[in-house]
Structure 1
Amino acid sequence: MNKIISKIYQIIKDSSNLIETEEAIQVCMYEVFAELVGDVFTHLNQVIKEQKQEEGWKVKREDWKTVQFIFGSVRYCRTLMIDQESQNHYPLDDWLGIRKYQRHSPLVEVKVAELASNVTYRDTADMLNEWTAVTISHQTVGSLLKRVGSAQAREDEESVLELEESAELPEGKKVDYLYAEADGVFVRGTKKKKSLEVRHAILYEGWNKNGKRVSLKEPKAIMTTKKTAGFWAEIQAFTANHYALQQAQIITNSDGGQGYTADKFQEAFSQSNYPVLNQLDSYHVFQGLNRAFGVKTTIFKQQVKQALKTHDLDHLTIWLDTYESTLDETSAVEKLTTFRTYVVRNWDRIFDWCEKVEQAPKDARGLGAMESNQRRISFRMKKRGMHWSAEGCEAMVKVKQGMFNHTLREAYLHQQNRSARNQRKLNQTVRLSSLLHEKTRQSVGAKNGTIPLYASRSSAIGQLIKSFR
């Protein structure tokens, strides 16, 4: 401690201003912490090595390893050992949860992925270099994001497989109503003139009101670039693991595009005893209405809106035909025909879900939260000249999904190949008492000594010596 205080004092003395002082103290703090943690890890290695030797393991050699932690690069000594089955192990790395060839701590990897999900790889590297002891390139940022994102993807895949192999559904949360919306968003791929579709679904239990502000209640997201079958399998596995839907009414919403039809929702939520209600997304309906009639308000547009609201197909047909008779341009007729086809094809899905249930909940509102939630993807992954590989795109959306659902860190740690059973076994190997225990030293008793007197006994120092006797 005295050494650290002396070093800080010297830094303050040598610095010309407070900015330089603080920066130098920060670097010093990182170095001290990294050195101390390295010493602790080396000590842990010695304790584990001795324990393994008692179990019959043999020492092969001593190696040094450097791992980048959030507070600096930690260098520690580890022992390569051979077990009874002639397999090589680094017991310390197993206990710490460090993978083979791993150069960054789990926290650094997760933090890099979380930061890169909101800003570019270069900005992520610059911010880390500026604010932490982590020095990293933008290429490494991309590699770490793919590693963390793939951990969440594997976790989702395992959830699907477990559901397929399970003899019964897991016990989940019981809800009266569950709301689901799904849609896709396209991002540019690395191949010329080829895009990647990010399939996106949100699930929620209702709405929370705070004054005039409304937010979704317990929202969850599923995102992937997989094909349609894989996307809906993940939705089904997620809901089966989190909810008991036998007595729940499922309300769904989509634009009716390919891969987001009513039968897909019915299949994904088939555990419910009630028919799944699927309504056509009103945003896409009125978007098509504006394309066909223009943004200005006209008598034709008002009457078509009224027909949609009252669900009167005859009234709708009359006004569409009347408006079409007024058009001269071929392009305008084509837009109207496209709108007519879209509405008529999905006519049975144009309704207010509150009118379809016996007793709507008190917080009932219209569905349509998907479009605003799509910005979570589009703001980060579209425009600005961005192009995505299939692997990078899947990793990015899985990181975003894990952050939104608060499952990313749990999924990452679970995929570190360190089970709870192995964790308990390793904890038994290294006990805190062995680290803090200091060997007792033999007492030599009280020591005798004298204070030399270079003055008369009647002097002040002489009188002081007499008082000690």
Structure 2
Amino acid sequence: MDRIITKLYEIIKESSDLIATEESIQLYMYEVFTELVGDIFTHMNQVIKEQKQGEGWKVKRDDWKTVQFIFGPVRYRRTLMVDQESQNHYPLDDWLGIRNYQRHSPLVEVKVAELASKCTYRDTAELLKEWTAVTISHQTVGSLLKRVGGAQAREDEEMVVELDEAVELPEGKKVDYFYAEADGIFVRGTEKRKSLEVRHALLYEGWEKNGKRVSLKEPKAIMTTKKTAGFWAEVQAFTASHYALQQAQVITNSDGGQGYTADKFQEAFSQSNYPVVNQLDSYHIFQGLNRAFGSQTSLFKQKVNQALKTHDLNELTIWLDTYESTLDETPAVEKLTTFRTYVLRNWDRIFDWREKVEQVPQDARGLGAMESNQRHISFRMKKRGMHWSEEGCEAMVKVKQGILNHTLRDAYLHQQNRSTRQQRKLKQTVRLSSLLHQKTRQSVGAKDGTMPLYASHSSAMGKLIKSFR
């Protein structure tokens, strides 16, 4: 501690301004932390090695390893050992949870992925360099994002497998009403003229108010670039793992596009004893109306909109035919025909779900939260010349999903190849008392000393003392 205080005093005295002082102190504290943590890890390695030797493990060699932590690179000594089955291990790395060839700490990997989900890889590298002791390239940022996103993806896949192999459904949270919306969004792929579809589901329990602000209650997201079957399998597995929907009324909303039809929702939420209510998304109806009639207000547009609200098919047909008779240009007729086909194909789904439920909850609102939640994807992954590989796109949306659901860190740690039983067993190896225990050293005698003389140097005792010098 005295050495640290002395060094800080020298930094403050020699710095020309407070900015330089703070930067120098920050760098010095990084050095101190990395040195201390490295010493602790090295000491822990010695304790674990001795314990493993007592179990019959053999020492093969000692190596040095450097791991980049958030406060700087930590260099420590570790021992390669061979167990009774002739398998090689680094017991210290097993205890710490460090993978083979891992060069960044778990916190660094997760933080990099979380930051990269909000800004570009280059900006992520620059921000880390400015605010932490982590210096990495933008290529490394992409690699770490794929690693962390891959962990969340594998966690979701395991959840699907567990549901398929389960004898009965897990006991989940019981709710009276459950809401689900689904849609897709396209991003540019790395292959020419090929886009990737990100399938997105939004699950929530209702709405809650905070003053005048209304937000979704317990929102959860499922995002993936998998095919339709894989996407709905994840939706079903997540819902079945967290909710007991047997007595719940499920309300769903979509645009009716390929892969988001009513039967997909019915299959995903088949555990409910009630038919799944599926309505056509009002935003897409309004969007189609604007494409067919233009953004300006007109009599035909108002009458068609009114017929849709009252669900009057005859009135709708009359006004669509009347408007079509006024059109001369072929593109305008094609747009109207597209809108007519879309509406008639989904006619049975054009309603407000609150009119289909006998007991409407007090906080009931219209559905349509998906479009605003799609911005989590579009703001980060679209425009600005961005192109995505299949692996990079899947990793990015899984990181997004993990952040929104607060599952990213747990999924990452769970995929570090250490089960709960292994962690408990390894932690028992190193006790705090062992780390703090200082072994006694064998005495080698006094290295320097004097013998008192209470007589003259010419006496016999004085001459004896001189002989020892």
The normalised TM-score by structure 1 is 0.94
4+ residue runs of structure 1 moved beyond 3 angstroms? Answer: 438-442
Task: Report the equivalent of 2:284.
Answer: 284
Question: How far apart, in 2, do the equivalents of 1:301 and 1:425 lie?
Answer: 70
Question: How far apart, in 2, do the equivalents of 1:337 and 1:429 lie?
Answer: 73
Task: Report the equivalent of 1:391.
Answer: 391
Q: Name which of structure 1's ranges 350-359 and 117-126 shifts more when overlaid on structure 2.
A: 350-359
Unaligned runs of 5+ in 1: 443-448, 451-469
Task: Report the equivalent of 1:445.
Answer: none
1:361 Cα offset (Å): 0.3
Question: How far apart, in 1, do the equivalents of 2:339 and 2:393 lie?
Answer: 33
Equivalent position amino acid for 1:77 in 2: R
Task: Report the equivalent of 2:135.
Answer: 135
Name the SS of the counterpart of 2:428 in structure 1. helix
Name the SS of the counterpart of 2:184 in structure 1. strand
Q: What percentage of residue pairs aligned between the two structures are identical?
A: 85
Name the SS of the counterpart of 1:139 in structure 2. helix
Name the SS of the counterpart of 1:247 in structure 2. coil
The normalised TM-score by structure 2 is 0.94
Name the SS of the counterpart of 1:201 in structure 2. strand
Question: How far apart, in 2, do the equivalents of 1:441 and 1:59 lie?
Answer: 24
Task: Report the equivalent of 1:311.
Answer: 311
After superposition, the C-alpha distances for 1:276-313 in whole angstroms (9 at most, x for unaligned) are 00000000001100111111111111111111111110
Task: Report the equivalent of 2:333.
Answer: 333
Task: Report the equivalent of 1:465.
Answer: none
1:210 Cα offset (Å): 2.0
1:339 Cα offset (Å): 0.5
1:439 Cα offset (Å): 4.8
Task: Report the equivalent of 1:60.
Answer: 60
1:440 Cα offset (Å): 6.8
Unaligned runs of 5+ in 2: 443-450, 453-469
Name the SS of the counterpart of 1:429 in structure 2. coil
Question: How far apart, in 2, do the equivalents of 1:123 and 1:207 lie?
Answer: 36
Task: Report the equivalent of 1:29.
Answer: 29
Q: Name which of structure 1's ranges 175-184 and 328-337 shifts more when overlaid on structure 2.
A: 328-337
Task: Report the equivalent of 2:239.
Answer: 239
Task: Report the equivalent of 1:89.
Answer: 89
Task: Report the equivalent of 1:79.
Answer: 79
Alignment of 1:437-452 (within 5 A): 437-439=437-439
Equivalent position amino acid for 2:73 in 1: S
Question: How far apart, in 1, do the equivalents of 2:124 and 2:441 lie?
Answer: 53
Alignment of 1:317-356 (within 5 A): 317-356=317-356
Question: How far apart, in 2, do the equivalents of 1:331 and 1:141 lie?
Answer: 47
Task: Report the equivalent of 1:361.
Answer: 361
Name the SS of the counterpart of 1:170 in structure 2. coil
Task: Report the equivalent of 2:274.
Answer: 274
Task: Report the equivalent of 2:112.
Answer: 112
Task: Report the equivalent of 2:466.
Answer: none
Question: How far apart, in 2, do the equivalents of 1:327 and 1:209 lie?
Answer: 47
1:259 correspondence with 2:263:
no
Question: How far apart, in 2, do the equivalents of 1:76 and 1:437 lie?
Answer: 20
Equivalent position amino acid for 1:163 in 2: L
Question: How far apart, in 1, do the equivalents of 2:427 and 2:378 lie?
Answer: 45
1:438 Cα offset (Å): 3.4
Question: How far apart, in 1, do the equivalents of 2:243 and 2:386 lie?
Answer: 37
After superposition, the C-alpha distances for 1:311-369 in whole angstroms (9 at most, x for unaligned) are 11011001111111111111111111111100000000001111111101000010000
Question: How far apart, in 2, do the equivalents of 1:396 and 1:44 lie?
Answer: 37
Question: How far apart, in 2, do the equivalents of 1:339 and 1:104 lie?
Answer: 54
Task: Report the equivalent of 1:195.
Answer: 195
Name the SS of the counterpart of 2:209 in structure 1. strand
Alpha-carbon RMSD across the aligned residues, in angstroms, is: 1.6
